[in-house]
Structure 1
Amino acid sequence: MKELKVLALVGKEMKNRVSLRSLKNLRTLCLDGSNFDGTSTDVIGSLENLEILSFRDCYSMRELPREIGRLKQLRLLDTTNCEELEVIPHGIFSSLCRLEELYMVNSFNEWEIGRGREEKGMASISEVMSLSDHLKVLAIEIPSVIHLLTKDIVLKSPTIRFLIRCATWGRLFSEMSTYAFENCLEISESDARELEESQAVRLLLKKSKKLYLSEVKNFSVLTDLDQEGFQDLKDLDLWYCPHIEYLANGTSGFLTNLRFLKLGSCGVLKYVFSLSAARNLVQLQELNIDGCDQMEEIVSKQGEHEEEADMISFDKLTNLTLEGLGSLVGFFQAKKLYSNQEETTARVEHQSAGVFEKAIFPSKCISWFPSLEEVVLGRMKFEGVLFDLKNIPSGFQGFQNSRLPKKMHVKRCENLKTMGAVIPQRKKLENNLKKDSTSHDFSTSPTRSSNWCPAGCGCAPYSRPNAHRPIEILPRPIKVTPTNLEDSNDNDNLENLTVSDCNSMEVIFQLKGPKHEESSHSIEAFNKLSSLRLDRLPGLTRVWEMGSSQPMLTGSSFGNLKSLEVGFCNQLKYLFSSSIVKLLVSIEDIEVHNCEKMEEIVAAEEETDETITLPKVKSIKLESLPKLKYFCGEAYTLKLPSLELLEVDDVQNLSLLAPKLIATHPRLQVRTALGVAEWKGDLNATLRNIYVTRKGEDDEIEREDEHN
């Protein structure tokens, strides 16, 4: 035992005051998770050769033994998560002349300001910083940045790896539980003018890879804190910083390594980046902005040439969240489409066709996001469209990389009217044009432009030169998703769509083009959409809207939709038309609830005797639909060969799922609020029995009430 060099008593109860005095050669002692309380000095003894000492997760530890100051060979000390640690006597740290790694996050927080008092005082940050010429790793928590502002605080090693929280509340670093962290700094409730005067703070800011600032006042631009532009920074959080107006404006090399950016409740923040600063953000992966009431745009021209916008690309941005931005005009405000001279005629003609100019993502910046996976929009007063693709410049080279994100959540955007529209490919119409023209470059064929403009005003189409795939825009009022998506390719990437609490939404999917083209060719749309959730849309009248002359939807349109939930949409009278329901070959789960005017799930478009089959539907839930009479009416025969569960509750008028119902799953169960219903041989008979039983019970209750 005397030759023992490593001893780990992890999670042990040390009731018998274990003495380690004889272990003179011990180099590593790990008491992690034990009940060591720090009051028993003979536990550590005189381990003069000890190099690593860890008390991590010793929740009973209240005091760091003064005798630790005699461990002259100690290179690593860890008290992480010793939440009850209240006493570290002054002088311990200054005695540890070879200490290289100090881990104290989420433990001791009673640091003395300045050098501390010699006798009964606690340890001070000055003591710790006096070791910084040989300290390689420092992870500590201090109640305020004021501890770093005294003149004697000097950070001597520019290569030190650190995790420092100058805060009594806020976020906890996820890196706390590991030794593998990058340089992290959190500062709250401070004044930027004081931070600039501290050598230690300036160096920490400069070297930070993760920086969280909360309630830091008196800086209007981030470069006030680091003139070189935080070139090492990867993760930046700014919350409740009352004076910041923008992050950067025309700064070369600014935030070139930034991956994650969160901005919250910065009351006077008007925009985030200038065009030139935005060009640096080639590594940005996530952008989250919340509660910045004065923000008008994310990227701003600020006197720069608009051509700078053509050089911006957030190639790695996958997640974008914009919430609570009451003044937002758009992600970027490009110049207006029309000059003053062209204003009257052109604007009126385009507006008559339902074309919007106002967009959260205007056409100038739509190609900045080639890798976008998820978009969240919430609590905004913006009026207009979400994506406006109608002004893609002729010959623009970046549009081929733009696509819809995989997931989209739109909530509490009460005035949002539409997302916009794009037709990536127009094969049939293009072929017709080829027959009549020797030119295949649509961007240089003004004689053809009137065939493409939705207003019929003769404006030029927009396309990539020699690509033969012109882009047409036809946004319509009061919609949430792209209209007229035809022959979509991999750019039609939307997989999950959630729309909630948007009072102005009337139609979700509008599938119709200009009147003279509606029946001229087929459309493929949303062929990757797998989940659709619509909740609390009081103005919604149709989920799918078809043209008067129905376009031919290809079989893959909506062919991957598996889950559909619709709730609290009180203007909806039906969910699907028969032409739409035929496309839903993969749908498995349908839930409809709390829609006051819903009469049918599948509405008849014309009198016919067709058979409608939903081959993969496994469960249907119908709840609180007071006017629902049928899932599918008499015009069609309904087949549900895979249906295993039908849940019905508060659908008092539903006595038949469908008058013509055949082919249901042999293990089908029907459940009500009271449990599994008695099976009566087939589904319609079972529902009829529930209806008759319920009606009889209601009549009996009514008679009793009259009698009483």
Structure 2
Amino acid sequence: MHDVVRDVAKSIASRFHRTYSVKRYSEVKQWPMIDQLQKFHQIILPWSYINELPEKLECPELRLLLLHNIGDNLKVSDEFFSGMREVRVLDLYGMMLTPSPPPSLSFLTNLQTLTLGGCELEDISIVLELKSLEILSLERSDIIQLPEEIGQLTNLRMLNLTNCSRLRFIPANLISSLTCLEELYMGNCFIQWDVKRSKDQSNNASLEELGNLSHLTTLDIMIQDSSVWPMDLQVFAKLERYNIFIGDVWKWSLEWAGGASESSRTLKLAESKSTSIHSDYGFNLLLNSAEDLCVAQLQRARGVLYELNMEGFPQLKHLCIEDSSELECIVNSIVPSQKFSQVEALTLDIRKQQ
């Protein structure tokens, strides 16, 4: 369905904008002549084998450039972007942008969307120059840390770091600076979060910074250590869609790629003896809105639903319980059954200790 919608949209757009495009999995051996390039409003090469890039793409009327390369990563010359200063959307995949993206990227001052998926990245502080940027996606890139400069992109509405599995470090106060952020995707990212209330504070970001994001509606995040859980965050009440995994036992589906493609509200929890996450106000806000709930390694909950949330689960549709040998019952006589009237599916995988 997504491919059909994309093709229809491309067809409609091409009626009004001069477009150069190829079919998926095409081999691009040669670029159009310079006089043709200068007239294009859009260049779309989706999932193509691109042999090489020109030194400079001279396209003064270009508004959208999409280059998805599935061959060897392509080197981009320093002047490549200098002839397309009106571009609004730049979507690159499979490019070599090390040690930093080309200096000519800073000329794209009208750029609103920048996607550098599956690219080789190191220092991307040049994005500071892109003041109009609203969407930044580094999905599946090999970036290790985010530069402080990203915190100055105060118009940013969406940040996608999905499947940046090497990413470990985000500077403190970067996330809280992005006050216009509406969507934050960090699935399959293993960030070393700081604990703001701890005496041994580092320069790493803390999850408490999410509290500054008053416009946030969508959140994908993995929190391997539940002891860094932020306390009493009311921002969770505004989330319309989320995938929140707490604990180190969960695996992120590589098919989830951000962009709000999943409509559900999914919460997964592996309990830790060192925290009292059950009593946290923000966590209970998530329990009240969760449609999909999966819990594992419950060590104190004899009656899992009642002990997790005495208020009930008004939105819950799917419940999964794994690896909880102390569990005695799921719902008991204390909990009115109508509090789980939306539940459609129950999955149990309870392994007794040997």
TM-score by length of 2: 0.67
Structure 2 partner of 1:592:
293
Equivalent residue of 2:244, what SS? strand
**Of residues 507, 527, 539 in structure 1, which corresponds to 2:226?**
507
Q: Does 1:380 align with 2:165?
A: yes
How far apart are 1:411 and its partner, in Å?
2.7
Alignment of 1:302-451 (within 5 A): 312-318=129-135, 320-326=136-142, 328-329=143-144, 359-360=145-146, 362-382=147-167, 384-385=168-169, 387-389=170-172, 402-403=178-179, 405-413=181-189, 415-418=190-193
Structure 2 partner of 1:181:
16
How far apart are 1:237 and its partner, in Å?
1.7
Alpha-carbon distance change, 259 to 173 in structure 1, aligned in 2, over 3 angstroms:
farther
Q: Partners of 1:261 and 1:566 in 2: how far apart? A: 33
Alpha-carbon distance change, 178 to 591 in structure 1, aligned in 2, over 3 angstroms:
closer
Q: Does 1:495 align with 2:217?
A: yes
Structure 2 partner of 1:245:
75
Q: Partners of 2:282 and 2:177 in 1: how far apart? A: 32
Alpha-carbon distance change, 654 to 577 in structure 1, aligned in 2, over 3 angstroms:
same
Which residue type is aligned with residue 243 of structure 2?
R
Structure 1 partner of 2:86:
257
Structure index of larger Rg: 1
Equivalent residue of 1:211, what SS? strand
Q: Partners of 2:181 and 2:87 in 1: how far apart? A: 21
Q: Partners of 1:496 and 1:539 in 2: how far apart? A: 23
**Of residues 37, 43, 53 in structure 2, which corresponds to 1:211?**
43
Question: Contact 1:577–1:603 (CA<8 Å) still a contact in 2?
Answer: no
How far apart are 1:283 and its partner, in Å?
2.6
Alpha-carbon distance change, 282 to 566 in structure 1, aligned in 2, over 3 angstroms:
same
Alpha-carbon distance change, 575 to 177 in structure 1, aligned in 2, over 3 angstroms:
farther
Question: Contact 2:18–2:40 (CA<8 Å) still a contact in 1?
Answer: yes
Alignment of 1:148-297 (within 5 A): 174-176=9-11, 180-186=15-21, 189-191=27-29, 195=31, 201-213=33-45, 214-219=48-53, 221=55, 223=56, 225-226=57-58, 230-240=59-69, 242=72, 244-246=74-76, 248-249=78-79, 254-266=83-95, 268-270=96-98, 273-274=101-102, 277-292=104-119, 294-297=120-123
Alpha-carbon distance change, 664 to 174 in structure 1, aligned in 2, over 3 angstroms:
closer
- RMSD across aligned positions (CA): 4.7
Return 5+ residue gaps in structure 2 as ranges.
1-5, 251-263, 348-354
Alignment of 1:615-630 (within 5 A): 617-619=314-316, 621-627=318-324
**Of residues 196, 204, 227 in structure 2, which corresponds to 1:475?**
204
Q: Partners of 1:564 and 1:575 in 2: how far apart? A: 22
Alpha-carbon distance change, 604 to 286 in structure 1, aligned in 2, over 3 angstroms:
same
Q: Partners of 1:323 and 1:190 in 2: how far apart? A: 24
Question: Contact 2:266–2:293 (CA<8 Å) still a contact in 1?
Answer: yes
Return 5+ residue gaps in structure 1 as ranges.
1-170, 301-308, 330-358, 393-398, 424-452, 457-472, 477-481, 513-521, 541-562, 606-611, 631-652, 675-708
Which residue type is aligned with residue 255 of structure 1?
M
Q: Deviations over 1:469-524 (max 9, x none)?
A: xxxx8637xxxxx43449x55x4332222236xxx822386336xxxxxxxxx976
Q: Partners of 2:185 and 2:227 in 1: how far apart? A: 13
Q: Partners of 1:175 and 1:596 in 2: how far apart? A: 48
Alpha-carbon distance change, 417 to 185 in structure 1, aligned in 2, over 3 angstroms:
same
Q: Partners of 1:217 and 1:669 in 2: how far apart? A: 53
Paired-residue identity, %? 13
How far apart are 1:587 and its partner, in Å?
2.3
Q: Deviations over 1:429-477 (max 9, x none)?
A: xxxxxxxxxxxxxxxxxxxxxxxx9769xxxxxxxxxxxxxxxx8637x
Question: Contact 2:318–2:344 (CA<8 Å) still a contact in 1?
Answer: no
Equivalent residue of 1:262, what SS? strand
Q: Partners of 1:525 and 1:364 in 2: how far apart? A: 24
Q: Deviations over 1:70-126 (max 9, x none)?
A: xxxxxxxxxxxxxxxxxxxxxxxxxxxxxxxxxxxxxxxxxxxxxxxxxxxxxxxxx
Determine which structure has the larger helix proportion and give its number.
2
Which residue type is aligned with residue 44 of structure 2?
Y
How far apart are 1:262 and its partner, in Å?
1.7
How far apart are 1:264 and its partner, in Å?
1.8
Alpha-carbon distance change, 279 to 527 in structure 1, aligned in 2, over 3 angstroms:
farther
Q: Does 1:565 align with 2:266?
A: yes
How far apart are 1:185 and its partner, in Å?
1.0
How far apart are 1:604 and its partner, in Å?
7.7
How far apart are 1:184 and its partner, in Å?
0.7
Q: How many residues align?
A: 321
Alpha-carbon distance change, 183 to 401 in structure 1, aligned in 2, over 3 angstroms:
farther
Structure 2 partner of 1:580:
281
Which residue type is aligned with residue 238 of structure 2?
K
Question: Contact 1:184–1:209 (CA<8 Å) still a contact in 2?
Answer: yes
TM-score by length of 1: 0.37
Q: Deviations over 1:208-264 (max 9, x none)?
A: 11113443334464x1x43xxx2211111223375742354597x643221222212
